[in-house]
Amino acid sequence: MVTETTTRPATRGRRPALAFLRELIFVVVGALIVSSLLRAFVGQMFIIPSASMQNTLLEGDRVVVEKVIAFHRGDVVVFTDPANWLPDEPDGPEGPLDHVLEFVGVPTVGTGHLIKRVIGMPGDTVVCCDDSGRVTVNGVALDETAYLYTSSSGVPVAPSDFGFTVVVPRDRIFVMGDHRDLSADSRCHLTDLSTQGRGQTAFVPISDVVGPAFAIAAPFNRAKRLHVPATFTNVPDAPAPPPESGEIKLEGAGCG
């Protein structure tokens, strides 16, 4: 009597692998969907690529930006490049983690975005500087010692190396970096020519603002909440309705 033996394909080892692969794909796709929803409606993380906001923010910091709340004077905000500002901003180093984060929607600020501190809101008069070398907003001097860059030897950076007076136009803001010597901010565009008029691209459209940065998420040894410096609570509201176009008066050649 001949017994016929049937050999079945070895599928037992393959099935767990396929099940794991399906589960992995499900988890990754789900994470991307959740990440997209969070970025669209709640917040987004950005990587700081330059030193323009030292020492508040350092190169490589990951900041969380809220999209669902308003921002105010003194807030640090992320905004899309309003008028080709980015060529003036140095690019920070990128590693493998940065590329992975960008792939899942966590871009560097340099990828079409910038991050600065809001100094003037629509209608505000921003002046640099008073007799004591301080920036004033609506006639009130700012004590910027809490956030302006200070060197390792304890020497603070000057609020600006040239004087200016601006009145911020409607639906725009005036922004400056905390490391004024390394920040190509609103001050550095007060002489730019554009179809809007000379210097008008110095004022960032509010519609271009992604939102205020409310926390440093990484590295973990720097994780903390970001708060509006107390000095801004003393600034009064703008004395008059904002003009349609920004008003600019320069003392000096501007950014070198």
**Cross-strand partners of 136:** 127, 141
Which pLDDT does position 255 carry in this prediction?
Answer: 81
Which pLDDT does position 88 carry in this prediction?
Answer: 46
Whole-angstrom distance, CA of residue 176 vs CA of residue 117: 5
Nearest Cα neighbor of 233 from 167, 131, 150, 143 is 143
Which pLDDT does position 17 carry in this prediction?
Answer: 73
Which pLDDT does position 199 carry in this prediction?
Answer: 95
Distances (CA, A) of 203 to 30, 77, 195, 218, 252: 39, 14, 14, 30, 19
Q: Which domains does the chain have, with CATH numbers?
A: 26-249 (2.10.109.10)
Which pLDDT does position 208 carry in this prediction?
Answer: 96
Each residue's pLDDT, cut to its tens digit, for the chain (256 residues) gives: 445 444 555 555 566 777 777 766 755 555 555 455 455 555 788 889 899 999 999 999 999 999 878 999 999 999 999 888 986 444 444 555 555 555 555 555 557 899 999 999 999 999 999 999 999 999 999 999 999 999 989 999 999 999 999 999 999 999 999 999 999 999 999 999 999 999 999 999 999 999 999 999 889 899 999 999 999 999 999 999 999 999 999 997 778 6
Bridge pairing between strands 172-176 and 204-205: antiparallel
* DSSP-assigned letter for residue 79: E
Could you tell me the pTM of the whole model? 0.79
Bridge pairing between strands 135-137 and 172-176: unpaired
Which pLDDT does position 49 carry in this prediction?
Answer: 87
Whole-angstrom distance, CA of residue 186 vs CA of residue 133: 19
Tell me which residues are annotated as active site.
52, 116
Which pLDDT does position 90 carry in this prediction?
Answer: 46
- Residues 157, 148: contact at Cβ < 8 Å? yes
